[in-house]
Structure 1
Amino acid sequence: MIIKNIIFIKLKDLLRKILILIENLKVNLNFLFIINRKTKLAKIYYGGSIKSNIGGPAVKIKKLKKFFPEYKWNFNIVYLLSNSIYLNASTINLLKEKNVPIILNQNGVFYPEWFTGDWEKENKKMSIIYHASNYIFWQSKFSQKASEKYLGKRLGSGEILYNSVDTNTFKPSGEIYTNKFTFLITGNINKRSNYRITTIIQSLEGLIKEYKNIHLNIAGCVEDKKYFLRKIKELQLDSYITFIDEFSQKEAPLIYQRANAYITIAYNDNCPSAVIEALSSGLPVLYSNSGGIPELVNKDSGIGLQVKEDWSKTQIPNVSDIQKGMIKIMENKENMSKAARIRAIENFDIKYWIKRHEEVIDELLN
C-alpha cells in the first residue's frame, strides 16, 4: 500500500511537470506565430487551469468559462488562480513584455500552520505572479493580509472579491426530509485535518444523551474514513453519523438541502465556497472564528467559535463551545436560516461576481 502511494505521488508530480512544460510552451508559441491580437473582445487564457465539477479551483474555472470562454491561442488577457499556477517566471516576464494583462485570483499562501514542506520556497514562486499581475482579486481581507505578510506589500491594483454562488441553484428545498436535526461537514479532509471531524464527533457524543434527534452528515473525500468508521462504531454512534462519498457540484445542492446547519472548524480558511453555498441553502453556520469566514457569516446567520491567531499551529475550538453553538443553532434554526439565505443573496450572488470581472477585464483591455 505504501509503495502504491509513493508511485501515485511520483506519477502525479511527473504529470504536473509535463502540464507546466506544455502550458509554458503554448504561451511562447502564441507569440511566435500569432501576430494580430489587437481586439477589444476579451479572449481569456486560464494558464492551464482545468474545469471540473469537483475541487475548488476547477469549479471556479468552470464558473468563469461559462461567462468568459477560453482562448488557448490568440488570447489577449490571462486569468490565473493562485492555487493552480502552471506558468513559470520566464513566461510571466514574456507576457509582461508583450503587454498582455494578467488577472490573479488570490486565495491562500504557504505558512507552517498548514504546509509541512518548504513554505518559503513556495511563497517565493507565488510572489512572482503576485507582484507581476495587473490586477488582483483577493478572496477575502484575510487573504490580502496573509499575502502581504508572506508575499510582500503589493503596489499594483486590486480589490476584495469574495467567492460567489448561484443563489437560484443553491437554495432551501422547502421540504422536511427527516425529523432529525442534521449538521453537515463537507470537504476533502486529509489526515492532517482530522481534527475537523474528530472534534465534532466528541461534541456530538456529549450532546446525544439530551438531544436524541441530532445527526451528522460528513460529505466529501475523507482520507482517514476507515479510522473514523471504527471510532464511530466503538463509540456506538453509528446511527448518528452518515458518510457521503465525494460529490460533484451538480450533486451539491441536494446535500445541503438535506441538512439543517453547517459546521466548519477548518482553521484560517481564506474564503471557502462551501460556506457561501451553505448560507445560500439556508443553513446557519457554526465556524472557527479565524481566516476569512468571519467576513462571510454575520451574527444573525451563524456562530463563530473563538480561537487565537496563529501562523504556526492549528487552533481548535473548545468542545464545550462547539456544543453550546450547536444547541443555540438548533434553538434558533428558523430565524438563522432566513438570515443565512438573505446574507448569501445580498452579498455573494454570482451576478455581482461576474459583473466585477466584466468591468475589470474591460478596463484592462480598453
Structure 2
Amino acid sequence: MSQFKRVTIVGPLAPPAGGMANQTKKLAEFLRAENIIVDVIRTNPEYKPAFIGKLPVIRALFRLVSYKLTLMKRLKNTDVIHIMANSGWSWHLFAAPAIFFGRLYNKPVVLNYRGGYAADFFSESWFWVDLTLKKSQVIVVPSIFLQEVFDDFDKSAVVIPNVLDKELFFQATNEQKNENAPHLIVTRNLEAIYDVATTVKAFALVIKEFPEARLSIAGTGPEKQALTMLIAELKLNDSVFFTGRLCPEEMAKLYQQADVMLNASTVDNTPNSIIEALACATPVVSTDAGGIPKLVKHRQDALLVNIADHQKMADAALEILKNPTLQQTLVNNGLQTIKKFYWANVWLKLKACYDEAIINNRKK
C-alpha cells in the first residue's frame, strides 16, 4: 500500500506550451486519476496585476518573490514533492528553492531532471548543483541519456519515461493520404537549437521529386522571421505553412495527417515530438543529437542523420516516401517503442520512487 496521499508538483504550465509544461499537466491529471490529491505550484504563473509582465526587471523579481512565498505556504501540506527541473537559471531560480523548502519542512523530494544541456550545465555549476542535489531523496530522469550524465557525476538516477496520453496520440485508421502530395511536418518551436532551417532546406530537395508536397511547421519563436526569408529565398512560399502554436488535440491531428515528421534539433534529450509522432504511426527522420539515439534506433523505428545535414535528411525522407516496406517497418516498430511511455507502465515506476523517497527521508 502506498505511503502517500498528497503530491505537490512544482513545474511550469501552459501558457506558454512546451514539453515540460505539457508533462506537468499530464502528470497531475494521471495522478488525480489514481485518487492522489495533487497540488501544482507553477514556476511560471501569470502576472497579477497583468501590467507587471510589461516591466522586464521588475517582473522577474516579482515572480521570484511570489514563487518563494507560494513554496513557503503550500509545501507544508504534502506527502511528496515532485520537482520538474531544468538546466541554467531555471535550476537556480526554481528547482533549488523548491528543494530547499522541501528540506526545511522535512518533506521527501523527488527531483525530475530533464534537458539536453545537463552535461554542460553540471560542468560549469556542479559545486552549487551538488549542494542542492544532496537534499533530494530520489533523482528521476526521462532517459538513459540523462541517467548516464548523472552517472558521470557519481549520482544515481532512475529512468522514468515521459508520460504519453494514448487516448490523444494514437494511430488513426481513417486518414486519407495522397501518395503524390506527401505532407511533411515539423513540430518544434522556432528556436535556434531546433534548427528548423535545416528541415526547410531538406524539404526544398524533397519537393523536387514530389512537386505537390507540402511542409507544415507547428510552433512559434524568434527564428520565424529568418525562416520566412529562407522560405522565400527557396521559392517555397506556396508549399510551406506556419500553423502557429497548436494545442495537444490539434497537434495529434497533425501527426495523424502527416506522412513524415522531420526533427533537426542540435541539442536534445527525449523529445516528446518524436514519441508523439511514433504513437500516431508517423515515420520520423531526426538528427542524432543528444539522447535521441537512446530513444530510437536507426532503421528500426526512425531514420537518423547528422546534425545540420539537410541533404541526408532529404534523402531519408525520400527513402521513406518511396519505400512502403521501410515505412511500415518504422511504423510497426515505433508503435512498440512507445508502449513504455503509457501511464500504466510509468505509474508503476513513479509510485516506487515516491515510496523510496519517503523511506529515504525517514532515515535522515
Q: Residue 79 of structure 1 contacts residue 104 of structure 1 at CA under 8 Å; is this kept in 2?
A: yes
User: In structure 1, what is the equivalent of residue 14 of structure 2?
Assistant: 52
2:3 to 21, 40, 45: 40
Residue 108 of structure 2 corresponds to: 101
Q: Any idea what SS the aligned residue of 1:132 has?
A: coil
- Is 1:343 the counterpart of 2:332? The answer is no
Deviations 1:219-239 (A, max 9, x none): 011322233223322322122
Residue by residue, what CA displacement relative to the aligned partner does 1:80-100 show, whole Å, maximum 9, x if unpaired?
A: 111255557576355336542
Q: Residue type matched to 1:323 in 2?
A: A
Number of the residue aligned with 1:64: 27
Could you list the runs of 5+ residues in structure 2 that have no partner in the other structure? 40-73, 360-364
Q: Any idea what SS the aligned residue of 1:70 has? A: strand
Q: In structure 2, how many angstroms separate the alpha carbons of the residues matched to 1:110 and 1:125?
A: 16
Matched with 2:66 is: none
Contact 1:138/1:158 (<8 A) preserved: yes
Say how many residue pairs are matched.
307
Structure 2 residue identity aligned to 1:205: A
Q: Which is worse superposed, 80-89 or 350-359?
A: 80-89
Q: Is the 8 A contact 2:138 2:356 kept in 1?
A: no
Instruction: Answer yes or no: is the 8 Å Cα contact 2:168–2:249 preserved in 1.
Output: no
Q: Is the 8 A contact 1:163 1:348 kept in 2?
A: yes
Post-superposition offset of 1:119? 7.9
Q: What are the within-5 Å matches in structure 2 for residues 118-267 of structure 1?
A: 120-121=124-125, 124-149=127-152, 152-154=153-155, 157-179=156-178, 180-190=181-191, 192-193=192-193, 196-267=195-266
Return the alpha-carbon distance in structure 2 between the equivalents of residues 88 and 168 of structure 1. 31
Pairing 1:357–2:360 present: no
Cα RMSD over matched residues? 2.8
- Would the alpha carbon gap of residues 88 and 52 (structure 1) be closer, same or farther in structure 2, given more than 3 Å must change? closer
Question: What is the letter of the counterpart of residue 237 of structure 1?
Answer: L
1:341 maps to amino acid:
L
Q: Using a 3 Å threshold, how does the CA distance of structure 1 residues 40 and 344 change in structure 2: closer, same or farther?
A: closer
- Summarize deviations over 1:94-142 as a string: whole Å, max 9, x none: 53365421101111264798x8xx9824x55444433322111122122
What amino acid is the match of 1:102?
Answer: V
Contact persistence 2:193–2:266 (CA under 8 A):
no
Unpaired runs of 5+ residues, structure 1, are 1-38, 307-315
User: Aligned partners of 2:116 and 2:128: how far apart in 1?
Assistant: 11
Q: Does the 8 A contact of 2:117 with 2:267 survive in 1?
A: no
Alpha-carbon contact 2:143-2:270 (below 8 Å) kept: yes
How far apart are 1:45 and its partner, in Å?
1.8
What is the identity percentage for the equivalent residue pairs of Structure 1 and Structure 2? 22
In 2, are the aligned partners of 1:183 and 1:263 still within 8 Å (CA)?
yes
* 1:323 aligns to 2:314 (yes or no): yes
Does residue 1:74 correspond to 2:72, yes or no? Answer: no
Preserved CA contact (<8 Å) 1:218 1:241: yes
- Is contact 2:188-2:218 (8 Å) kept? yes
State TM-score, norm by structure 1: 0.74
* TM-score, scaled to structure 2: 0.75
Deviation of 1:249 (Å):
2.1
Cα-to-partner distance string for 1:250-286 (whole Å, 9 max, x where unaligned):
3221121121121112123111111111110111211
| CA distance in 2: counterparts of 1:90 and 1:210, whole angstroms | 54
**How far apart in 2 are the matches of 1:318 and 1:343?**
26
Match of 2:296 in 1: 297
Q: Distance in 2 between matches of 1:142 and 1:219?
A: 26
Name the CA distance, whole Å, in 2 between partners of 1:109 and 1:270. 5
Summarize deviations over 1:184-210 as a string: whole Å, max 9, x none. 1112222x336x222222222223222
CA contact (8 A) 1:287 1:304 kept: yes
AA of the residue aligned to 2:37 = P
- Measure, in 2, the Cα distance between the counterparts of 1:182 and 1:337: 16
Query: 1:219 touches 1:243 (CA, 8 Å); kept in 2?
Result: yes
Residues 41 and 141 of structure 1: CA distance in aligned 2, closer, same or farther (over 3 Å): closer
**Contact 1:42 1:365 survives alignment (8 Å):** no
